[in-house]
């Protein structure tokens, strides 16, 4: 089978190569998936650089998320042939991949492939963050890294739930598209986050901050929280830490917690997982839901795919299709 591989860490265009590899054989409690599509995510760059939470084992097939059809199953697995599944797993930039059955999300057969390929990471993360927040209709939510894929998903899920959203950005060109999907926008280069949030919420502040940045942005965002507010940290874009004095936390009775997608999923029982998948799939299947694709490429054209990602005008995910 064809696969996009690397044998040392570094930048994608310096280390990736298409090679013929042995087709994997599913072991007990695994399925063999015939890949349909796989996105290029920020995590892929960390994995290629050797700085992700798990490390490559060389020679390594790249790719960490995707969707495809079950072709065969190992011992202990009873899932039908050609079932559409999505998952987060290593080795997805290949024609076939073996995936532990516990990692699979079983999707409706009619979910578009481009959306199925992105299901397991960003939509589930956005959904999980909102579940953790316990926000109710009328509450205010502040997002840092407002133009990220996860933030745009949170905005749309939150709008369905009647939750008000403010999103911070660093480039004004993203304002209109975030306004279109239902968010108030703050350009952190032009105005202090605290002042603008006070203006938007009429002095009330926000009920929850979801921070993917840290540093000064996270620090300012924390200070917009009202009494009993929550700061949920799920990213680390800034090398600097969020700064706060203990009095800020105690006087407002604030809660600070982290969110990791694997921990969230592992805490779901079978019925909760099924309900989540059905709910998310039903929402993102709508043509009106924004889950944009910038371009799709065969793995042989990976150099062009990564050049597209480097384009500052890129809008949406870049996918490999098989």
Distances in Å between the alpha carbon of 77 and those of 27, 33, 104?
Answer: 10, 13, 12
Residue where the block lists tokens 């799709």 = 296
State the pLDDT at residue 237. 87
Using DSSP's 3-state secondary structure scheme, residue 72 falls into strand
Report the distance separating Cα 12 and Cα 196, nearest Å: 39
State the pLDDT at residue 12. 97
Distances in Å between the alpha carbon of 291 and those of 208, 270, 287, 295, 300?
Answer: 24, 26, 9, 12, 25
The predicted model scores a pTM of 0.94
Report the distance separating Cα 212 and Cα 274, nearest Å: 27
pLDDT band at 270 (very low <50, low <70, confident <90, very high): very high
* Token representation of residue 301: 């054209």
Beta-strand ranges (E) seen in the chain are 2-6, 17-20, 30-39, 60-61, 65-73, 84-88, 96-100, 105-106, 140-143, 164-169, 183-187, 206-211, 225-233, 255-258, 293-297, 317-321
Instruction: Using the predicted structure, report yes or no on whether residue 313 has a pLDDT greater than 90.
Output: no
Strands 17-20 and 2-6: antiparallel
State the pLDDT at residue 314. 62
Phi first, then psi: what are they for 152, rounded to 5°?
Answer: -65, -30
Residue-range domains of the chain with CATH: 2-118+291-321 (3.90.180.10), 123-260 (3.40.50.720)
Average pLDDT of the segment spanning 262-288: 95
């Amino acid at each position: 089978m064809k696969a996009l591989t690397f044998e040392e860490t570094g930048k994608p265009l310096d280390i990736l190569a298409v090679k013929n590899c042995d087709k994997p054989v599913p072991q007990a409690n695994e399925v063999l998936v015939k890949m349909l599509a796989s996105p290029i995510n920020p995590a892929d760059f960390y994995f290629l650089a050797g700085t992700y939470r798990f490390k490559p084992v060389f020679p390594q097939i790249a790719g960490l998320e995707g969707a495809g059809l079950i072709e065969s199953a190992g011992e202990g697995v009873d899932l039908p042939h050609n079932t559409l599944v999505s998952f987060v797993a290593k080795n997805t930039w290949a024609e076939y991949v073996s995936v532990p059955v516990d990692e699979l999300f079983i999707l409706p057969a009619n979910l578009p492939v481009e959306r199925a390929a992105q299901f397991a990471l960003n939509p589930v993360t956005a959904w999980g963050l909102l579940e953790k927040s316990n926000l109710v209709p009328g509450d205010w939510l502040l997002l840092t890294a407002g133009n990220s894929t996860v933030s745009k998903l949170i905005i749309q899920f939150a709008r369905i739930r009647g939750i008000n959203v403010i999103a911070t950005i660093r480039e004004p060109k993203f304002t209109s598209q975030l306004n279109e999907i239902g968010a108030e926008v703050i350009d952190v280069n032009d105005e202090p986050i605290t002042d603008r949030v006070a203006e938007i919420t009429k002095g009330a502040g926000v009920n929850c901050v979801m921070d993917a940045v840290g540093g000064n942005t996270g620090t300012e965002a924390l200070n917009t929280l009202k009494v009993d507010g929550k700061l949920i940290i799920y990213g680390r874009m800034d090398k600097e830490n969020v700064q706060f004095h203990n009095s800020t936390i105690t006087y407002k009775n604030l809660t600070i917690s982290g969110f990791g997608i694997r921990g969230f999923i592992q805490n779901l029982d079978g019925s909760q997982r099924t309900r989540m998948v059905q709910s998310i799939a039903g929402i993102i299947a709508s043509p009106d839901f924004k889950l944009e694709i910038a371009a799709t490429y065969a793995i042989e054209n990976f150099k062009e795919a990564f050049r597209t990602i480097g384009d500052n005008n890129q809008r949406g995910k870049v996918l490999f299709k098989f």
